[in-house]
Chain A
Amino acid sequence: MAKTEGELTWQDIETGGIVTEPGNASQYQTGAWRSQRPTYDFSKCIKCGICQLFCPEGCIEQNEDGYFEANLYYCKGCGICARECWPRVITMVEEEE
Chain B
Amino acid sequence: MAIRKGIEVSIGLGDAVKLCDADVVAAYPITPQTHIVEHLAELVADGELDAEFIPVESEHSAMSACLGSAAAGARTFTATAGQGLELMHEVLYVASSMRLPIVMAVANRALSAPLSVWGDHSDMMAVRDTGWIQIVTENGQEAIDNTICAFRIGEDKRVLLPVMVHLDGFHLTHVIEPMLFPEQSEVDGFLPPNQYPLPLDPDKPVAMGDFGPPIVYSEAKLAQERILRAAKPVILECWQEFGKAFGRHYLPVEHYHSEGARVLLLTMGSFSETAMVTVDKMRGEGRDVGLIRLRLWRPFPFAELRQAVKDADVLIVLDRAISFGGPGGAVGSEIKAALYNESKKPKIVSFIGGLGGRDITAEGFEEIIKRGMEIAEKGSENEYEIFGVRGE
- The answer to whether A15 touches B222 (Cβ under 8 A) is no
- The answer to the question of A8 belonging to the interface, with a C-beta cut-off of 8 Å to chain B, is yes
For the complex, would chain B's binding face be called helix, strand, loop or mixed by DSSP majority?
A: loop
Contact A20 B99 (CB under 8 A): no
Given contacts A18-B206, A28-B213, contact A13 B198 (CB under 8 A): no
Give the residues from 1 to 51 in chain A that come closer than 8 angstroms, CB to CB, to chain B.
Answer: 5-6, 8-20, 22, 25, 28
Q: Kindly report which residue of chain B lies nearest to residue A9, judged by CB atoms.
A: B219
Chain A contributes a number of interface residues (CB within 8 A of B) equal to: 18
Judging by beta carbons under 8 Å apart, are B215 and A5 in contact? yes
Q: Provide the residues of chain A in CB contact with B160, threshold 8 Å.
A: 15-16
Which A residues lie within 8 Å of B213 (CB)? 5, 28
Known: A11-B223, A16-B160, A18-B210. 18 other contacts (CB 8 A): A5-B215, A6-B215, A10-B219, A10-B222, A10-B223, A14-B198, A15-B99, A16-B97, A16-B100, A17-B220, A18-B206, A18-B208, A19-B206, A19-B207, A20-B206, A22-B205, A22-B207, A25-B211
- B220-245 CB mask vs A (1 if < 8 Å, else 0) is 10110010000000000000000000
Rounded to whole angstroms, the CA-CA distance of A13 and B99 in the bound complex is 12
> How far is B205's CA from A4's CA once the two chains are assembled, in angstroms?
21
- Taking CB as reference atom, which chain A residue is nearest B204? A20
Question: Contact: B197 with A12, CB < 8 Å?
Answer: no
Tell whether B1 is near chain A: CB-to-CB under 8 Å. Answer: no
Question: How far is B230's CA from A10's CA once the two chains are assembled, in angstroms?
Answer: 14
Number of A-B contacts (CB under 8 A): 54
Q: Which size class do B's interface residues fall under?
A: 20 to 34
Q: Which residues of B contact A (CB under 8 A)?
A: 97-100, 160, 197-198, 205-213, 215-216, 218-220, 222-223, 226
Within 8 A of B (CB), among A54-87: none
Q: How far apart sit A8 and B213, CA to CA, in the bound complex (Å)?
A: 12
Contacts of A5 in B (CB 8 A): 213, 215-216
The reply to whether A13 and B216 contact each other, CB–CB distance below 8 Å, is: yes
11 contacts between A and B (CB under 8 A): A8-B216, A10-B219, A10-B220, A10-B222, A13-B223, A17-B98, A17-B210, A17-B220, A18-B206, A18-B210, A19-B210
Ranked nearest first, the 7 interchain pairs of A and B with the lowest CB-CB distance are A16-B99, A19-B207, A10-B222, A16-B98, A10-B219, A13-B223, A10-B223
How far apart are A88's CB and chain B's nearest CB, in angstroms? 35
Min CB gap A39→B, angstroms: 28
Most chain B beta carbons < 10 A, residue from A9, A12, A16, A22: A16
Q: B215 contacts which chain A residues (CB < 8 A)?
A: 5-6
The CA-CA distance from A11 to B98 in the complex, in Å, is 15
Hey, which chain B residues are within 8 Å of A13, CB to CB? 216, 219-220, 223
Q: Could you tell me the distance between the alpha carbons of A9 and B223 in the complex, rounded to whole angstroms?
A: 9
Measured between C-beta atoms, what is the minimum distance from A73 to chain B in Å?
A: 15
Separation of A63 and B212 alpha carbons in the complex (Å): 32
Q: Assess the A8–B206 pair: CB atoms within 8 A.
A: no
Rounded to whole Å, the gap between the CB of B4 and the closest CB of chain A is 40
A16 B216 Cβ-Cβ under 8 A: no
CB-CB < 8 A to B226: which residues of A?
Answer: 10
B211: chain A residues at CB < 8 Å are 25
Cβ distance B304 to chain A, nearest Cβ, rounded Å: 26
| Chain B residues whose CB sits within 8 angstroms of the CB of A12 once the complex forms | 219
